[in-house]
Copies of this chain bind each other. A is one copy, B any other.
Amino acid sequence: MNTIEKAAGPSGAPGPDSEEFEEGGIGVRRASMTFGPDEPLALDSGVNLSPFTIAYETYGALNADRSNVVLICHALTGDQYAASSHPLTCKPGWWPHMVGPGRPIDTNRFFVVCQNVIGGCQGTTGPKDIDPATGRPYGLSFPVITIGDMVRAQAMLLDRLGIRDLFCVIGGSMGGMQVLQWAAAYPERVFSAIPIATAARHSAQNIAFHEVGRQAIMADPEWKQGAYLSQGTTPGKGLAVARMAAHITYLSEAALHRKFGRNLQDRESITYGFDADFQIESYLRHQGSTFVDRFDANSYLYITRAMDYFDLRATGSFRRRTIARSCMR
């Protein structure tokens, strides 16, 4: 670990919550890194975000030639806790079957890094953090971010950690978008890329689902035009509805049928009322209500927006390389 800490620049000291511990046979380092005014994050929108912090975890050890790095990119509502217990929910990491000793992403072989995305709410700078210009939470004054911005911030952290090359970058859904973006924007740094269950751009239907979620949040009067943290409210009902709408898409229609069908929830027959008679209703309500305890509504707006905006065709190096290849034919 010395290599890493030595590589940290003047504003790159581990945050006060940096800690190392072992969990499930994995050496976990839970840390955050702040980038000061001298190192702003140049966003695609043209805005420079500064200062900003990235919260991240590492598992395992970096080898001597720094060639064993696997970067895990998380999905929309994911976080850096891929293989360690979530500090808020106390639930196990979100990718336990994939990350660990002897598992596909073998923490005995690889040095695994997982970062909370920019705009997120698990320690990396996002709309719930204090805007130094006002002393109040950013809310909607936080700049709109993109998948490109998320990846650019990840690269800055890796630079700071002294890591140039990625043996592999891997992730699903929005994590897969980041993987594609990594391969397009930093092809010389990526040896292998594993984008899972993802897309090079959102379809109209993808955007539609996200827009319903955003409108559900914004329709909640507790949202307060995004200033709910300053005003002491929580748009939990709107966020829960957004989560419910999104959850419809997380299982295929066939899987929903297999898992729930028209099964009733703890009852023999319909009740002629508006309780959750069907298991699918109970499931969605549960997903909605538990989500609001661990996620920030404005982060949900910003991150869904980044996904909708993402279009791999627009990424510079991808475009150049594609054109170059076309010309060679």
Stretch at the interface among A90-98, A158-166, A208-216: A208-216
- List A135-150 residues whose CB lies under 8 Å from chain B: 140, 143-144
CB neighbours of A262 from chain B (8 A): 201-204, 207, 311
| Interface SS of A by simple majority | helix
User: Are A205 and B248 interface neighbours, CB within 8 A?
Assistant: yes
What number of copies of this chain does the assembly contain? 2
Of A33-41, A61-69, A168-176, A278-286, the one touching chain B? A278-286
Pick the contact of A272: B143, B272, B281 (CB < 8 A).
B143
Question: 1/0 per position for A280-309, CB-CB distance to B under 8 A?
Answer: 110011001000000000000100010011
Residues of the B chain whose Cβ atoms lie less than 8 Å from the Cβ of A224? none
Q: Does A207 contact B270, Cβ atoms closer than 8 Å?
A: no
> Binary interface profile of A, 249-268, with partner B (CB < 8 Å = 1, else 0)?
00001001101111000000
C-alpha gap A221/B208 in the complex (Å)? 24
CB of A219 closer than 8 Å to a CB of B: yes
Contact A259 B204 (CB under 8 A): yes
Asked if A216 and B216 sit within 8 Å, CB to CB, the answer is yes
Q: How many whole Å from A223's CB to the nearest CB in chain B?
A: 10
* 30 sample A-B contacts, Cβ–Cβ < 8 Å, listed by A number: A44-B272, A45-B272, A143-B272, A144-B274, A203-B257, A203-B262, A204-B257, A204-B278, A205-B253, A205-B256, A207-B278, A208-B281, A208-B284, A209-B248, A211-B280, A211-B284, A211-B285, A212-B212, A212-B244, A212-B248, A212-B284, A215-B240, A215-B244, A215-B288, A216-B216, A216-B241, A219-B241, A241-B241, A262-B311, A270-B309
**A245 sits at the interface (CB 8 A):** yes
Given contacts A201-B262, A203-B256, A219-B220, contact A274 B308 (CB under 8 A): no
Whether A248 pairs with B208 at a CB distance below 8 angstroms is yes
Given contacts A204-B253, A211-B285, A218-B274, 13 further A-B contacts (CB under 8 A): A140-B274, A144-B274, A201-B262, A203-B256, A204-B278, A205-B257, A208-B247, A208-B280, A211-B276, A211-B281, A215-B284, A245-B245, A262-B311
